[in-house]
Amino acid sequence: MNPTFFLSPAKPHKLIWGVGPTFVAPTATSKVLGQGKFSMGPSFVALLQPGHWTVGALINNVWSVAGSGSRTDVNQMLLQYFINYNLKKGWYFAVQPIVTANWQGSNGNIWTAPLGGGVGRIMKLGFQPVNLSAQFYGNAVHPVSGSSWSMRLQIAFLFPKLSKAEEEMMLEKKLKQLETEQQKPQAK
């Protein structure tokens, strides 16, 4: 689990940015799946949205601050640059690789650098807005024991801040749906 919290200007200009802490909780159930250390560090994000594009980057670095002394200390960087081209009806093309560096690694085992991309769509499942995406990446550089490729299938639940008019419209829509359901004859 890797929560990140950002502080950003209340009224952003063309450049939207945020800065704050990120944490890595040791939630893995196997030594192979996790580092076994609680880690934390700084995080920064910035983006621009010219026309149909969204362009930006997220970067952070975490260091271990607690955990088993028998496990290797953590000092790792994450850089995710993102380039999205937004189409009609919520569809978009995306290039969002996650480049990592394990500063504790030896020569040839520090970097993972993927190349690739995918497609996504922002839509509603019922009344819940979601962001669905599928992306495929080949790792141009990776640790000796690392994978030469990765795939990301993602669903993100969105909770936008709605205006009073939007809230009323959604409530009216939901009430109409409930009324329609109640008027349907019940099958026995």
Q: CA-CA distance, 178 to 183, in Å (whole number)?
A: 9
pLDDT tens profile 59-110: 999 999 998 888 889 999 999 999 999 999 999 999 999 999 999 888 778 9
**Is residue 177's pLDDT more than 90?**
no
Residue 178 lies in a domain: no
Q: What is the mean pLDDT of residues 116-124?
A: 96
Q: CA-CA distance, 156 to 132, in Å (whole number)?
A: 7
How many domains, in total, are found in the chain? 1
pLDDT tens profile 14-47: 999 999 999 999 888 787 778 889 999 999 999 9
Instruction: List the domain range (segments joined by +) for residue 23.
Output: 16-161
Q: CA-CA distance, 71 to 86, in Å (whole number)?
A: 43
pLDDT tens profile 127-162: 899 999 999 999 999 998 889 999 999 999 998 888
Sign of CA dihedral 19, 5, 152, 37: positive
103 and 76 Cβ atoms separated by less than 8 Å:
yes
Residue 115 lies in a domain: yes
Residue 116 lies in a domain: yes
Residue 60 lies in a domain: yes
Residue 182 lies in a domain: no
Residue 6 lies in a domain: no
Can you read off the two tokens belonging to residue 62? 């975490």
Q: Where are the alpha helices (DSSP H) in the chain?
A: 164-183
Q: CA-CA distance, 116 to 133, in Å (whole number)?
A: 13
Residue 104 lies in a domain: yes
